[in-house]
Structure 1
């Protein structure tokens, strides 16, 4: 049986169109002031109906965070008590997904492990993880649930406590937790003359500050307020840093790369933003985080 050229051509074109459609990139959300950050939406076929999500545990939602779980993000080192901004956000997201408080299981996940490559044992992780292009190569993120700035803390007796701008910190010995945007702020924005000290946890950075091993440390602004008010009372916030990249830094919930839950979790976060829940939780738990001079 012979096939005419007139018949073959449409078949070839149609086949090529199918191949091209299969290779075309999925459209992504645009970055905007609503906190979407251009995150991937995840597989669109997944139903977000309550109780039908393909979570890690049957009838349970597994949420990861580091230990210790610091205030003001958590209270009393107990993520499960619902106190602190991130604990409250996690339970609000869980509720939006159809899970009651007794159906949320907390899992200890070291900060750097949360966004490292590889399959995760949690459904989502919440631990002040900033959304970035580099991290999105290894994991998915929800839309942003909090817009944050970095801040620098010094002992009140230090000459660097009186710094009025970034140039005033150039000669300081600075410290920050490894793998954080706090460390990026030191290296990329402050660019100090001395190599910064790098710590596995903020607790170690705080100890170094108290012991005089560093002149100042960089942390996110709400953490800076908590440290100076409750943990290192002879320290003060020197100031906060402006957004210099043109894009606000946002914390997002971390999920497996290609997780079927990404679109549903993002939908939940977006809903909490739109109905005012995130703003109310921020006001309750992070009320002081707006008052600090901006260092330029």
Structure 2
């Protein structure tokens, strides 16, 4: 075979290889990487944990004003109402929403989830995104300080005024982060597994003050520890607001659909209306600087 013949044959073979490579199927993407489409988010047709149902997680007790009467399925309270509004957007009526008890810290811990999404005042953070996925934010939140009216903490006007008081918060929360990172108290803060324990510690005088989200602070002082007051709220120092988001499995194929539902509820005014209905009294507190 001549050199010219060999060169021609090599060129043809190379072209065949290139065509075959170009036509080879691309590696299949994981469901969580796929962009949302009208077909993939078809109402009531999502690949949910339980076929034909949307499984929603939250902690127990389910606190007001996020839930009413410790009943997530009642549709009353801001987060219960938001959950059902998201479900409706995804094509699931109230009869097709199943609630599951999920401890707060478990909701964003690493590992597979038995819920489609969890709603439980979980703030979106980069650290938590390493273990779970989040929807877009459904509520912009501030952290607040609650103290017994007789406590020295009740007179605080600035963050510096809180440095020498005994503070408490629930473990794993941004409330605790604000104590550690912003207040930096001289005394180690008391840490509790549940908000119920945190409130009991305040009521019994085991701590001078506690840090919780602002709506919860107003509920505590208005209905649970009536001899306490909302001392003030912390200002946003991060540039972007702290937001609560719906928690999903890290590899969930529903994340884009759930985010689309939350975004639609924000755009059409539903989230604002629900906030006004359930949280309207929890907006006015002095800012601690």
TM over 0.5: yes
Range with bigger deviation, 70-79 or 154-163:
154-163
Report deviation, 1:268.
0.3
Conserved? CA contact 2:198–2:210, under 8 Å: yes
Corresponding residue of 1:278: 271
Report deviation, 1:8.
4.7
Runs of 4+, deviation exceeding 3 Å: 1-12, 40-46
Q: After superposition, what is the alpha-carbon deviation per residue over 1:102-128, rounded to whole angstroms, capped at 9, x for unaligned?
A: 110000000000000111000000000
- Bigger-Rg structure (1/2): 2
Tell me, yes or no, if structure 1 residue 74 matches structure 2 residue 67: yes
Tell me, yes or no, if structure 1 residue 213 matches structure 2 residue 210: no
In structure 2, how many angstroms separate the alpha carbons of the residues matched to 1:132 and 1:284? 27
In structure 1, how many angstroms separate the alpha carbons of the residues matched to 2:199 and 2:238? 28
Conserved? CA contact 1:71–1:84, under 8 Å: yes
Q: Which secondary structure state, in structure 1, belongs to the residue aligned with residue 181 of structure 2?
A: helix
For the structure 1 residues 171 and 8, does the alpha-carbon distance in structure 2 shift closer, same or farther, using more than 3 Å as the test? farther
Conserved? CA contact 2:45–2:52, under 8 Å: no
Corresponding residue of 1:268: 261
In structure 2, how many angstroms separate the alpha carbons of the residues matched to 1:254 and 1:267? 14
Conserved? CA contact 1:43–1:260, under 8 Å: no
Cα RMSD of the aligned pairs, angstroms, is 2.6
Corresponding residue of 1:119: 112
Report deviation, 1:44.
3.9
For the structure 1 residues 265 and 251, does the alpha-carbon distance in structure 2 shift closer, same or farther, using more than 3 Å as the test? same
Conserved? CA contact 2:156–2:162, under 8 Å: yes
Query: Where do 1:53-72 residues align within 5 Å?
Result: 53-72=46-65
Q: Which secondary structure state, in structure 2, belongs to the residue aligned with residue 227 of structure 1?
A: helix
Conserved? CA contact 2:89–2:261, under 8 Å: yes
Corresponding residue of 1:31: none
Report deviation, 1:58.
1.5
Q: Which secondary structure state, in structure 1, belongs to the residue aligned with residue 180 of structure 2?
A: helix
Gaps of at least 5 residues in structure 2 are none
> How many equivalent pairs are there?
281
Q: TM-score, normalised by structure 2?
A: 0.90
